[in-house]
Structure 1
Amino acid sequence: MAYQRESKMDQISSELAQKFIAALKEETLPWSKGYDVNYHPPFNPATGTVYKGASNVILLLNNIEKGYTDPRYLTFNNAKDLGGHVRRGEKGVTCIRIQPKTINITDQEGKVILDENGEPKQRELLIPCPYTVFNVAQIDGLEHVLKPLNLAAEKHQWDPHERAEELIKNSQAKITHSEFRDIVEAPCYSPYLDQIFMPERYQFKSTERYYGTLLHELCHWTGHPSRLNRFDEKAHNLGFGRPEYAKEELRAEIGSSLMCLTLGIKHDLDDNSKAYVKSWIKVLENDPREILKAAAQADKIATYLRQYDIVKEKPKEPLLKPYQGKVHPQDIENVKQQAVERIDLNVKQRIFDFSPVKNQEKSIPTQTSLER
């Protein structure tokens, strides 16, 4: 099972890395050609889960490649529990869920190491678990449950540039603008000074390019020890062209792209970012799994910056809380009523086990289809 999971992870990493490498060789990013002013983060309407980390990037690319305009995705069981069904022949997209697992720490001989209280020392592992989801466009029978989304109506109550300006202001990042080349040769963030240096706004080719660049530097700014803590104390000595330097630049570029999509600002690689393309390609060719790490970190960066956005994302109300397993006879009507209250769904489509319960004990409802 572990071998199969590793093999699947390698396949996901390789496919995603190849998409990035192909786009980078054209000096662009995979989603640039599919830019949508009405972008909405992919989410699961059954559970209310907004897909995070690498899954967010994977589903974004899947929408662009397949031409889907709906950001909603469901697992096979989600669709079934909502009374729908995935159409025959449709292929899902594989995402990644991180499952924490606590293990005992052992020495070189395999013996468990104990702490001062005689208890086993433990550490937490983060296990990547692949799973498959389908866009709602691939699912029939959901018309009575899912209403069409009007993304255009939800977006841009604020001007994108004004919204970006407010986000930057709310972050309270220290930003210095200067037109003098002896002070600012190129946009940059200094971890040592915890300060962003930018040329003057008029020196950029467009307003989009200005905000795209500043958001890129703001993504670096999140790495400070007082924020997301991605840099060690020697981070300011990282040299151009080194692998760690290239990895951080890739995280910031993907993160700023996600932020531009969120704000409604068109974003392309600028001349400064294009200087890193060869090093990014080299990193991905040497280790395809690095794209999953970069995508996960980029989404974490974007999530951190969204706290400063004047437009707050509303929590997704889950549509589905299915009852599975045995239900005590006296609770049947109550369970049905809760199902009706939770969702406008024909109760006849739900399957309840009315067989006698052993020892007349109530079983605890499970939610296996809500794992993600």
Structure 2
Amino acid sequence: MGQSLSRNNILEQLRIKRNKRFRLASIVTVLIIFTLLIPVLQYSLNIYIPYNKTALRVEDSVFTREDVVDFVRFNQRLSEEQGVQFNPGSSLFESLQLIAENEIAYFSAAQYGLTVEQWEIDEAFFIKLGIYDDIDLSLGEDKRAFQEQKIQFLNEVQLDDETYQDIVRKGIFREKLRRELSREIPLIQPHAEVYKILVSDAQPTMLSDIERRIKTGEDLEEIISRFSEDPEVQKNKGSLGWIPVGIYPTLDNILFVQDENGKRNLNLRELSEPYINQESDLLEFYIISDLTEARELSDEHMEQLSNDALRQFLSNKSSVVNIEYGLDNDTFNWINSRVQIASILPSSTISEDDMDGVDSILNQ
């Protein structure tokens, strides 16, 4: 009986020793795993999670903080390569809006049958760098030089080729959409030849004198040179040139609108009601010197109307497309700190106005 009990004690002691070794091994294993996990956790907390936090969603397309950093760095470096200072504040939230608009343009490409070829991406990149005139991509030597310069550029801004291609491609889709919309703008349109007088005090006697001189047929440029307080009056004589509808939207009503009887809101060689110039606080008066129902748009006006058409198209689409901004002050500051790393010019600081811009997006 005693011998049997002694054997049980021995077995129990062996079991206890095994358990102690097992617990010790378990503790050591846990410590090793925990030690190995620390860098992983640090990476997740400091890099992976912050970089992959959603900054923008356009329908099913999700753009992370990292995507925004890539986009801003790319455009930042392109600007700075040409000596243009990059504003880290306004450019950040404007970039978010631009990313969203480019995505809408990309979605709309099929509607207009728009496509983008590889050579267009390469060409657009060199045009942005301002050196395309010196390169012929059809030549092997120039193509190799292009590839080397592109690789160097992407390494400097820490972008991979796929990201670069996507950014440039969608920018091209935006420009192609703008051109397509411009086709809908009539090349021949009504125009008004317009002059402007700026005065600080619209005294009745002075206005009566101006109106009398206009009605008697005195040269408009001489009248304006005599009375206008516009600093540029000696340079432009108050002339705004031939203006079509849409160039000065606030003036369209007086320049082009007629009632059911054909009566115009502002007749030829007649002084308009005063408008307040928001920049100088001067009063503006307008005079139509001539009208035509058919005049070809200037290149400058076609460009402006095309930009307005694209802006209106994107605004209309934005009202029906699901767009969500994941931008807050923390994200704003986080992105800005990463963007500054790629800057080659002295860094700027974020102003209170820049932060107000963030809030304006969040409140949309």
Q: Which has the larger radius of gyration?
A: 2
TM-score by structure 2 length? Answer: 0.22
Higher helix proportion, which one? Answer: 2
